[in-house]
Structure 1
Amino acid sequence: MSTCEDYTFVCPECSQSITVNASMREALVENGCVICGAPVTQSAFDPGCDE
């Protein structure tokens, strides 16, 4: 179950989709996709709640 602190990540290269928290979001931006290693930007994340 996602909360407003969670984000849905969709890799622009391999299309892997996972729900992550804020610290994991920052780690993905710094290190790339955990599946394929592709670079990740903030645009690969959607908020986990409707605003």
Structure 2
Amino acid sequence: MNGNAILGRWPICAARSLDLSFGTRAARGALDIDVETDGPGSALRVVATHLGFAH
């Protein structure tokens, strides 16, 4: 099983899952989150992905 994760000390205020699949290639995805760094209204956007293995 493969997957993406984002770990941090700041609260997550929004999270989205993105489908990055293309054609007949293996499924790919990304996590797109906003974290509060200094309180409400101060969000930092973070995107994490793993694009695959080289063959």
TM-score, with structure 1 as normaliser: 0.29
Select the structure that is richer in helix.
Answer: 1
Instruction: State the structure with more CA Rg.
Output: 2
Select the structure that is richer in strand.
Answer: 2
